[in-house]
Amino acid sequence: MIKIIKIMFRLFFKTLMLLLFFVFSVIIILVITNINLPKQSKYQDHLDNEQKIYIAEFQNLQRSIGENVYPGWSAMKIPIIVYNEYFIFLIGYDKPPKGWFKVPQNIQLGGEWEIVDNDLFFGNSYYRQKTTDIKVVPENFVVKVGDRWVASLQTYEYSAVAFYNGFKEELPSVLKQIFPYRFFWKMIMGTPEDYISTLSHEAFHALQGESNEKKFNNAEFSNAQTDSYPWNNQSNIDGWNNEAKFLMLAYETSDDSLAKLYLNKFIEARDKRRELAHISDQCVLFEKQREWLEGTAKYAELSIGVEAAKSKKYTPFPQIKDFKKFNYYENRVIFFKKQINEISRNMNRQDENKFYYSGLIQSLILDRFDKNWKTKILIDNLYLEDLLRMIK
């Protein structure tokens, strides 16, 4: 018996030592890896070739596949702004007027645009201006340059740098040296398709703004309701949970009659939630406007990659085919399915993220029951929820 105990103790001790060795090794690897994390952009005053290819592939994707996602999107010539902590770059806009306008406030920011010397964007000049304050940049959204709507996003390189630096500031000191930054960044923006899809999201806002500027501006101004919205009201939380359940049931069933029954249940649950949680008329409009603005942009972001993967005719921008990480949008099909599985959880978050996903699932259901919803939704006072209420 004593001999058996000794053997078990030795096995336990060896296992413990192996486990400690493994943990220690991982910590050492993470520390060494984190020492080499970039703290600033390497390419500061011009765009590197990889960034140019990402933008060119988005332009190619939008021109080729955009119409499959939303009427008129392929025909739009959307200029692109990308920026790092040093410069703001403007592509696809010849002789741009000074600065840019923050929307919907219509505040002009920035200075004169200069042509980037000794560099071209695939045969064409592009522009830049120096960043004087990292807090005064176009941000990841959309702006106007002159009278044109322009999609705006951090460069791929700077988005990683900003993630690493920002995450470090949030972590306790003991974790800063060993947190797996690269792993989490890869989960967020690990492939070219991830970045291109994010750029597609912001470019879709340009379509919304150009198609109905008044509706776009009102939807963005509605953010003023964020502080007064009853995020933590239990009736509101329970109601959103019911809405997510019925929307998912409507989406998942192949029986149209049953799907319509679940949609009626969704409408009943939404009306009851607003009544029990005392949602004001302003906050009701806030919900609908954010679902329209961000939910349909989420829909476009996911759909354009799926359409590219499904298309037998789509040919990506030639140079992106050399990227080992580029997978011809096949990963977007998988990502789309994962996002569908995440809808209920995200609709129950107590922040604006819920509207991205409630708008997404409503858009997908409208694809099935109203082939003209994308045109209708540009009308001033018509929102996704309103169209669902019309389904009989």
The token pair at 254 is: 């192949």
- In tens, the pLDDT along 9-27 reads 566 556 655 655 555 454 5
* Residue from 106, 152, 160, 147 nearest 131 by CA: 152
Q: SS3 for 124?
A: strand
DSSP helix, strand, coil percent of the chain (3-state; round to 5):
60, 10, 30
Is the pTM above the cut of 0.75?
yes
* Residue from 335, 344, 342, 341 nearest 247 by CA: 344
Report in angstroms the alpha-carbon separations of 220 from 49, 129, 153, 302.
34, 26, 18, 21
Q: How far apart are CA 44 and CA 293, in angstroms?
A: 32
- In tens, the pLDDT along 33-89 reads 656 788 899 999 999 999 999 999 999 999 999 999 999 999 999 999 999 999 999
Report in angstroms the alpha-carbon separations of 138 from 84, 85, 122, 302, 392.
11, 12, 24, 23, 43
Q: Which residues pair with 130 in a beta bridge?
A: 87
Per-residue pLDDT, averaged over 306-312, amounts to 95
Predicted pLDDT at 26: 47
What spatial distance separates the first Cα and last Cα of the chain, rounded to whole Å? Answer: 76
Give the residue extent of every domain in the chain.
1-36, 49-184, 214-310+342-389
Predicted pLDDT at 2: 64
Predicted pLDDT at 167: 72
Cis preceding-peptide flag for 104 (omega within 30 of 0): yes
Q: Are 117 and 129 in contact (CB under 8 A)?
A: no
Strands lying side by side in the sheet with 87-91:
107-109, 100-102, 141-145, 148-154, 80-83, 87-91, 127-130, 114-115
How many other C-beta atoms are found inside a 10 Å radius of the C-beta of residue 350?
A: 14
- In tens, the pLDDT along 116-127 reads 999 999 999 999
- In tens, the pLDDT along 226-279 reads 999 999 999 999 999 999 999 999 999 999 999 999 999 999 999 999 999 999
* Residue from 174, 57, 65 nearest 122 by CA: 57
